[in-house]
Amino acid sequence: MDTPDPNDAPTPRRELRDPRELRALAHPLRLHLLEELAAHGEATATELAARVGESPANCSWHLRQLARYGFVEDAGGGTGRARPWRWVPEVQEVSDLDAEVQEVRLARDATVRVMFQRDMDAFWAWEAAQDEAPEAWRRASFSARGINWLTADELAALKQDVEAVVERHLLARLDRVDPERRPPDAHLVRIMAWGFPTGRSSDLPDGPADDDATDAVEGEETG
Query: Looking at the domain 12-218, which fold is it?
Result: Arc Repressor Mutant, subunit A (1.10.10)
**Of 92, 94, 60, 96, nearest in space to 78 by CA:** 60
Distance in angstroms between the alpha carbons of the first and the last residue of the chain = 36
> Cα(16)–Cα(19) distance, rounded to whole angstroms?
8
Per-residue confidence in pLDDT tens, the chain, 223 aa: 444 454 556 667 888 888 999 999 999 999 999 999 988 889 999 999 999 999 999 999 999 999 999 999 999 887 777 889 999 988 888 777 777 889 988 998 999 899 999 999 999 999 999 999 999 999 999 988 899 999 999 999 999 999 999 989 988 888 887 888 889 999 889 998 889 898 888 888 886 555 544 454 444 333 3
> At 218, which helix (H) or strand (E)?
strand 215-218
**Helices 102-129 and 28-40, interaxial angle, to 10°?**
60
CA angle 180, 184, 189 (to 5 degrees): 95
Q: Helices marked H in the chain — which ranges?
A: 19-25, 28-40, 45-52, 56-68, 96-99, 102-129, 135-140, 152-169
